[in-house]
C-alpha cells in the first residue's frame, strides 16, 4: 500500500541534511513524496570561492543557483514533486537572527506566527495539502531545530496548515536525540582540515526528550550522499560525513528520528520505524 508524505523545509539543502534518507526511503517504496521549500536560500553563505559573486550582497543570484542544486538533490532522492511555498520566489530567505535581511518585504519572517503574512502563508500551504491530501507531514520542531528564524516560521506555517487540512493524520518534527548524537560523535574523526564537532554544533533538538519513530536509512546512503553533494554552495561532502561553511565536520546518521507533535497516536510500545504505522 502506498502512502502520501509531504515535507516542509525553509531552504534548499535542509531536506537533505535533516531527512534525506527518510525521503529516499519513501520514494523507493513507491510512496507519493512532495517537498515544499519556503525560500530559495538567497542569504546562504557560499563555500566555493569561484561562486562568491552570487552572494546576496553582490549579484544576489544565489537563490537561482540553489534552485538548480535543489532540483539535482530531488533527483538523487527520487522526489519528483517539488514546490515552493507561494511559488518560486514567493518568500525570501530572512538570514540568521538579527540579520538586515529581515527587512526585505518578502522575508519569510513576515510570514511567521503573529506576523502580517502568516495567514496568507498558511493558506498557500493549505492549498497544496488540500490538493495532494498527504497523510503525514514532516517539518521541524518549535525552535526550528536550532533557532533559525526561517525554520521557526516554516514549523509554524506547516503545523497550522496541517491542523486545518482534512487529510493530515500526523505531523512530525525531525529531531536528533542527545544520546544518539553523543554516540555518533564518540568515534568520529573529522577529515583533515575540518573541525571536530560538539553536540551543540549539530542542532535539530539534540535534547529532544521523545522519539516516536526511528527510520533506518543506512541502506539509502549513496542516494543521501548524492543529495548532499548536490548542494555544493552550502555543503562540503566528506568521505566520512559532510561540513557546512563553518568547516565543522559531522557524520551522516544511520537512523533519522522523528517526534510526533500532532495527530493520531502511534501503536503502543517502543519507537518503530514507520511514520504511517497503524494508519489504515
Q: Which residues contact 204 (CB under 8 A, 6 or more apart)?
A: 18, 140, 145, 146, 174, 175, 176
**pLDDT of res. 168:** 98
DSSP-based three-state secondary structure for 117: coil
pLDDT of the residue at 207: 57
Main-chain phi, psi angles of 247, to 5 degrees: 60, 30
Average of per-residue pLDDT across 25-39: 98
Predicted confidence at residue 129, as pLDDT, reads 98
Q: Which secondary structure element, helix H or strand E, spans residue 151, and what is its range?
A: helix 149-164
CA distances from 217 to 25, 78, 153, 208, 224 (A): 7, 14, 28, 20, 9
Tell whether the model's pLDDT for residue 209 goes beyond 80: no
C-alpha cell at 19: 531527512
Residue, of 181 and 57, whose pLDDT is higher: 57
- Distances in whole angstroms, Cα of residue 62 to Cα of each of 39, 86, 128, 151, 274: 12, 19, 26, 19, 36
Query: Is residue 8's pLDDT more than 60?
Result: yes
pLDDT digits (tens, 9 = 90+) for 73-97: 999 999 999 999 999 999 999 999 9
Helical pair 14-28 and 62-77, crossing angle rounded to 10 deg: 30
Percentage of the chain modeled with pLDDT above 70? 96
83 Cα distance to chain centroid: 14
- pLDDT tens per residue, range 233-244: 999 999 989 999
Q: Count CA atoms within 13 Å of residue 21 on its CB side.
A: 20
272: phi then psi, degrees, rounded to nearest 5:
-95, -165
DSSP string, 188-240: --PPTTSBPP-HHHH-S-TT-----EEEE-GGGHHHHHHHHHH-TTT-EEETT
Q: Is 188 exposed, middle or buried (0-12, 13-18, 19+ CB in 10 A)?
A: middle
The confidence band for 17, taking pLDDT boundaries of 50, 70 and 90, is very high
The band of 204, judged by pLDDT with boundaries at 50, 70 and 90, is low
* Residue 108 reports pLDDT greater than 70: yes
Instruction: Check pLDDT > 80 for residue 132.
Output: yes
Cell numbers describing residue 31? 510512496
**Mean pLDDT of all residues in 120-128:** 98
Q: In this structure, what DSSP letter does residue 250 have?
A: E
> How far is residue 258's CA from residue 68's CA, in Å, rounded to a whole number?
28
Confidence label for 42 from pLDDT (cuts 50, 70 and 90): very high
pLDDT at res. 206 = 57
Q: What pLDDT is attached to residue 182?
A: 85
Write down the mean pLDDT value for the chain: 95
pTM of the model: 0.97
Per-residue pLDDT band for 200 (boundaries 50, 70, 90) equals low
The domain limits of the chain are 4-263
Would you tell me how many other CB atoms lie within 10 Å of the CB of residue 112?
21
Which CATH homologous superfamily contains domain 4-263? LmbE-like (3.40.50.10320)
pLDDT above 80 (res 156): yes
Residue 187 has pLDDT above 90, yes or no: no
Amino acid at each position: 500500500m502506498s502512502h502520501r508524505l509531504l515535507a516542509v523545509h525553509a531552504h534548499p539543502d535542509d531536506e537533505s541534511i535533516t531527512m534525506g534518507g527518510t525521503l529516499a526511503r519513501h520514494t523507493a517504496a513507491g510512496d507519493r513524496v512532495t517537498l515544499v521549500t519556503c525560500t530559495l536560500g538567497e542569504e546562504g553563505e557560499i563555500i566555493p570561492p569561484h561562486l562568491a559573486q552570487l552572494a546576496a550582497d553582490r549579484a544576489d543570484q544565489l537563490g537561482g543557483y540553489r534552485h538548480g542544486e535543489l532540483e539535482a538533490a530531488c533527483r538523487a532522492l527520487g522526489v519528483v514533486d517539488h514546490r515552493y511555498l507561494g511559488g518560486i520566489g514567493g518568500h525570501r530567505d530572512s538570514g540568521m537572527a538579527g540579520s538586515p535581511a529581515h527587512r526585505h518585504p518578502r522575508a519569510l519572517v513576515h510570514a511567521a506566527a503573529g506576523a502580517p503574512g502568516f495567514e496568507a502563508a498558511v493558506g498557500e500551504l493549505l492549498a497544496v495539502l488540500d490538493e495532494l491530501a498527504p497523510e503525514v507531514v514532516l517539518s521541524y520542531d518549535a525552535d526550528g531545530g536550532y533557532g533559525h528564524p526561517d525554520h521557526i516560521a516554516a514549523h509554524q506555517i506547516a503545523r497550522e496548515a496541517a491542523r486545518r487540512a482534512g487529510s493530515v493524520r500526523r505531523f512530525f518534527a525531525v529531531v536528533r536525540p542527545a544520546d544518539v548524537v553523543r554516540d555518533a560523535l564518540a568515534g568520529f574523526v573529522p577529515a583533515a582540515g575540518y573541525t571536530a564537532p560538539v553536540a551543540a554544533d549539530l542542532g535539530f533538538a539534540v535534547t529532544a526528550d521523545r522519539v516516536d519513530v526511528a527510520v533506518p536509512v543506512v541502506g539509502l546512503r549513496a542516494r543521501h550522499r548524492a543529495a548532499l553533494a548536490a548542494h555544493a554552495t552550502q555543503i562540503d561532502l566528506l568521505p566520512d560525513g559532510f561540513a557546512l561553511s563553518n568547516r565543522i565536520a559531522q557524520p551522516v546518521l544511520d537512523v533519522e528520528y522523528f517526534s510526533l507533535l500532532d495527530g493520531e497516536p502511534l501503536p503502543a510500545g517502543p519507537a518503530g520505524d514507520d511514520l504511517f504505522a497503524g494508519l489504515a
